[in-house]
Amino acid sequence: KEAMNDIKYAFIVNTQVVSTLLLAEYESAIGLGVSVNGRKGEIVGIIEDFHSSSLHNKINPMVLMLEPYQYNKLFIKLSTSDIQKSILGIEADWKRLMPDRPFVFEFMDDEYEALYRSEERLSKVFTVFAVLAIVIACLGLFGLVAFAVEKRNKEIGVRKVLGASVPSLFFLIAKDFSKLIVIAFIVAAPLAYWLMQQWLSDFEYRTSIGAWPLIISIVSALSIAMLTISYQSIKAALLNPAETLRAE
């Protein structure tokens, strides 16, 4: 402890520390004598704020220093050309210098990825359920369109005899289902927006949702619905009206 007190430390701080010290200019912090947990020294450098933890947390004041009695990690920047060869070389040097200590390494990107592992799992779960919901909805819509077309076979046949085109008959069938999709979107969009806002509120630093996700979702829903409807609708529109009316 006495040896530690005799050391004059050099501190590198982030801008949050400067703000906490209520200093108007960064230059005034350089050379300032401070004490950090009993370690006395001076500020020798200032770095920009960066995230050392998850975006769930606010960036706090940070002090970087060399602690001679507490070395337990080495941070090494590797070239991406041959990472495996570099690791093997570092391991050989480690075993030569410290044969009694195990060689354990990990990549920084893996550590940062671990901070958002729960979000990744949640994303996968929501993706699976979203795909299942879309498939089930499309199957239901397909059956509903088939039933509606069967009920309107005579009307479709009469309209075709009177000169209705295939596109007009397609939109005749599709417009009723489009209305239902729009109504469902109007009901679901505010709830989805609120849920997303609640989820984003857990992050100290977050983006705004905006209107584009809602626009893309309604366009996607209508596009998928039109693709589902198109087979039955075009099939009914191309049907020979003589056969339809004779069957009626």
pLDDT of residue 5: 55
pLDDT of residue 92: 92
Q: What pLDDT digit, counting tens, does each position of 83-107 carry?
A: 888 899 889 998 998 888 888 888 8
Low-confidence stretches of the chain (pLDDT beneath 70): 1-6, 22-24, 239-248
pLDDT of residue 223: 87
pLDDT of residue 227: 84
pLDDT of residue 242: 61
pLDDT of residue 129: 93
Distance between CA atoms of residues 200 and 56, nearest Å: 9
